[in-house]
Amino acid sequence: MSDDNTYDLLIIGGGINGAGIARDAAGRGLKVLLVEKDDLGSHTSSASTKLVHGGLRYLEHFEFRLVRESLIERERLLRIAPHIIWPLRFVLPHDKGLRPKWLLRLGLFLYDNLGGRKLLPPTRSVNLRDHPHGEILEDRLSRGWEYSDCWVEDARLVALNCQDAKERGADIRTRTECVELGRGYDVWNAKLRGQQGEETVSAKIVINAAGPWVDDVLDTAQPGRNHTNLRLVKGSHLVFPKLYEGRHAYIFQNRDNRIVFAIPYEREFTLVGTTDVLFKDDPNTVAISGEEKNYICDAINEYLRHDVTPDDAVWDYAGVRPLYDDHQSDNSTVTRDYVFDLDESGGAPILSIFGGKITTYRKLAEHALQKLGLAEGESWTGSTALPGGDIDPARFDTFFAESMAKYPWFGPEGVRRLCRAYGTNIDAILGKAKGLEDLGMHMGGDLYEAELRYLVENEFARDAEDALWRRSKLGLHLDKAAQERVAVWFSNAVVPA
């Protein structure tokens, strides 16, 4: 086999864990191939609650190391990607009969201090009968707390890590499935099946970051063994027309000791979720159930002054969390921490990854390479901006104003959306244009052909769903005719296989 088809690392899985490892490894000079059978982040990593957070409720389960690492990472990620990650204030009402005030105060004190918070404002108490909460929440709710976490465009975080990995030399292939793995003493031989047919490559190490399909990859690599390491837990969300005014989110305690978030979403909507339901079906066909819809609505109706029903939702999505199964904990308490399984017993190593959360993906990548003895030199991913992220987090509004001055003809809403999506790479989309007529075909809203070309050439978008529902959420804003124009454009465009 030629050196062109021989890699240091073959990463199976284009979710956030695989993308983070690819970026870190490529930046260390390793020859990396990442394969993803569908689109980047098209499963678990685009179906999250879209938070970079410490996980306040994990403190109840004494997962202090996970919370501390998450809080530290929260500010690191805010620094390297302030265009797609930004601060968000959460309001936690106290409700009688649930967690006592002293416990909530203690949890929030720890939350403020465990991770060396520097960029985000501290917790404060709030009177829920004051504006705006008094018009939003039910009358029985009088006191609560406001604390900080961060919002993230989850699927874009995956795409930007892969974009950066590619710029550092990684080979990123979507719509490419690893269908066979043969283990040798010092190398793996892998058969890949993509849109152009089949190909065999070799790699010194395989990293199994396949998420819900981790056990399936292990079955391919180690036939004859019984792999039952995963517990798939489904989390579902509903999106409603805006339920309240304001930029703050709410975190509501539920009677079953779980919590549900209500979060401002895409300017015109409110995102509500999530659920914790054991999932034993095909991960390719995950969907919200009627019971989950009712659960979410019942949970927020306990708090909101105006009730909602599932019929009020304009969109929903669901994903499965591939958690490490300890065969003991229930679905809401099983650890969200990541677990590594390194197998070197039969020759070339294979490292399988279970669990993890978006907030700790970068640290997971570092730890994975350390586990493999590949993390030579200093850590670099926590201080180097992701594509478009070379902006001071405290000066995003200044960056927007500067961009608006450069591109006044695109309009403030359009410029703000592009600044949030692409950061300083907005210039790669609008930089050569003098007006809207220079951006190519108008798809609808503020979407033009120039942006689609950028997504194809730089962010691995291959069809309309990639562009409208993962690289963006423009599918929520464009009518069916506009969405069809995007689909037709992709069908006629020359896109890489």
Determine if residue 237 is left, alpha or beta; phi over 0 gives left, psi from -120 to 50 gives alpha, anything else beta. Answer: beta
Q: What percent of the chain is modeled with pLDDT above 90?
A: 79
pLDDT computed for residue 110 by the predictor: 84
Residue 285 lies in a domain: yes
| Domain CATH number, residue 458 | 1.10.8.870
CA-to-CA distance for 199 and 201, rounded, in angstroms? 7
Statement to judge: residues 24 and 159 lie in one domain:
yes
Residue 89 lies in a domain: no
Q: What percent of the chain is modeled with pLDDT above 70?
A: 97
Residue 22 lies in a domain: yes
Residue 56 lies in a domain: no
Out of 56-65, 121-130, 266-275, 350-359, least confident range: 56-65
In tens, the pLDDT along 4-46 reads 789 999 999 999 999 999 999 999 999 999 999 999 999 999 9
pLDDT computed for residue 330 by the predictor: 62
Residue 452 lies in a domain: yes
pLDDT computed for residue 332 by the predictor: 55
Model pTM greater than 0.85? Answer: yes
> Is residue 351 within 8 Å of residue 321, measured between CB atoms?
no
Statement to judge: residues 269 and 346 lie in one domain:
no
Statement to judge: residues 341 and 313 lie in one domain:
no
Residue 117 lies in a domain: no
Mean pLDDT for 251-257 is 90
Residue 7 lies in a domain: yes
In tens, the pLDDT along 302-319 reads 999 999 999 999 999 999
In tens, the pLDDT along 398-423 reads 999 999 999 999 999 999 999 999 99
Statement to judge: residues 238 and 261 lie in one domain:
yes
Structural domains counted in the chain: 3
pLDDT computed for residue 328 by the predictor: 63
- Please say if the pLDDT value at position 2 is more than 70: no
Statement to judge: residues 429 and 312 lie in one domain:
no
Question: Please, which pLDDT band fits residue 106 given cuts at 50, 70 and 90?
Answer: confident
pLDDT computed for residue 119 by the predictor: 85
**Domain around 222:** 3-44+155-228+335-371
Statement to judge: residues 290 and 241 lie in one domain:
yes
Residue 310 lies in a domain: yes
In tens, the pLDDT along 198-246 reads 999 999 999 999 999 999 999 999 887 777 778 999 999 999 999 999 9
* Mean pLDDT of all residues belonging to the chain: 93
Question: Please, which pLDDT band fits residue 378 given cuts at 50, 70 and 90?
Answer: confident
Question: Please, which pLDDT band fits residue 331 given cuts at 50, 70 and 90?
Answer: low
Statement to judge: residues 318 and 355 lie in one domain:
no
pLDDT computed for residue 334 by the predictor: 61
Statement to judge: residues 215 and 236 lie in one domain:
no
Q: 154-167 vs 449-459: helix axis angle to the nearest 10? A: 60
Statement to judge: residues 487 and 401 lie in one domain:
yes
Count of CB atoms within 10 A of residue 95's CB? 18
Statement to judge: residues 342 and 212 lie in one domain:
yes
Question: Please, which pLDDT band fits residue 333 given cuts at 50, 70 and 90?
Answer: low
Statement to judge: residues 250 and 290 lie in one domain:
yes
| Domain CATH number, residue 18 | 3.50.50.60
- Please say if the pLDDT value at position 490 is more than 90: yes
Mean pLDDT for 155-180 is 98
Statement to judge: residues 306 and 350 lie in one domain:
no
- Please say if the pLDDT value at position 285 is more than 70: yes
CA 409, 415, 416, 417 dihedral sign is positive
